Structure 1
């Protein structure tokens, strides 16, 4: 509420449209200091992506040391998923910075992992249980693998034109 609200002298005064717009913008930005649901999802993903990156890197290092016949294709697929995770991490970091959200600390209490973050000057806490983290990571990895599967389906190996493929009638 402004000092002019309730003051009868100002009711008869004329306001310019730009002044009304400035007033509305100032009051709209005060309400924007609270973290939105979309921003909380971004914070959650930002916190989960480093864990996912470590998991995929560990799997890739295990694959490198295995004697699996299909090791090379698994490594290529795993590297593609890792690249996608790192790309999403970079995009989220940039978006959070643009929204003036900074994540600072991690604390653990029982089965809950708390993170402290600053959103447009206000300090807030974000907590997740380990079970929620596991299920979200599992869901996100499944999503990345489905994207990779869709990519392979759109360009199957049999229809790719590579060096070793022969034209019809060639021997």
Structure 2
């Protein structure tokens, strides 16, 4: 007990704003220091769970495309290979980012009713991440659509670039046909 405890003058202390902000910064509990993941980290965990399922789906589709006698199977297989490469790249980047944030997914997964649970360790805090099968399916379709949109956008840029070059040099365009 100090001499100032009974003194009412010290009940209404004035504190400058910068001192208050400095105090808050020093005593703030950030999610980085606790074991609980942030919302962004939970999205990354979800994506690391979803992407391997997508890889499996695309690989199966490629195998079916190789067996089929479809006229455009070569184009489909090339597009599927590009999607496979994009998924693999994103999965590698996500795993590296999670590792740098000290988050690790454990290999075991379990299914209870329609929910698939994956265990993870986030800065010493162990928890389960559950995802409903229907949500997993919809997430896969949304991400596949995003990858396909990325490929389409890239192809359109190439097509417009070639069209601009053909307009600049009509002689060169006639020589290529």
TM-score normalized by the length of structure 2: 0.75
Counterpart of 1:131?
Answer: 134
State whether structure 2 residue 42 is matched by structure 1 residue 37: no
Counterpart of 1:116?
Answer: 119
Is the 8 Å Cα contact of residues 44 and 94 (structure 2) preserved in structure 1? yes
TM-score normalized by the length of structure 1: 0.78
Structure 1: gaps of 5 or more residues: 1-6, 10-19
Counterpart of 1:80?
Answer: 82
Question: How has the CA–CA distance of structure 1 residues 143 and 29 changed in structure 2, closer, same or farther, with 3 Å as cutoff?
Answer: closer
**Between Structure 1 and Structure 2, whose CA radius of gyration is higher?**
2
Shift of 1:144: 0.3
Counterpart of 1:98?
Answer: 100
Q: 1:69 is paired with a residue of what secondary structure? A: coil
Q: CA RMSD in A?
A: 3.1
Post-superposition CA distance 1:85-132 (Å, at most 9, x none): 000000011001000011112111010101111100011111011000
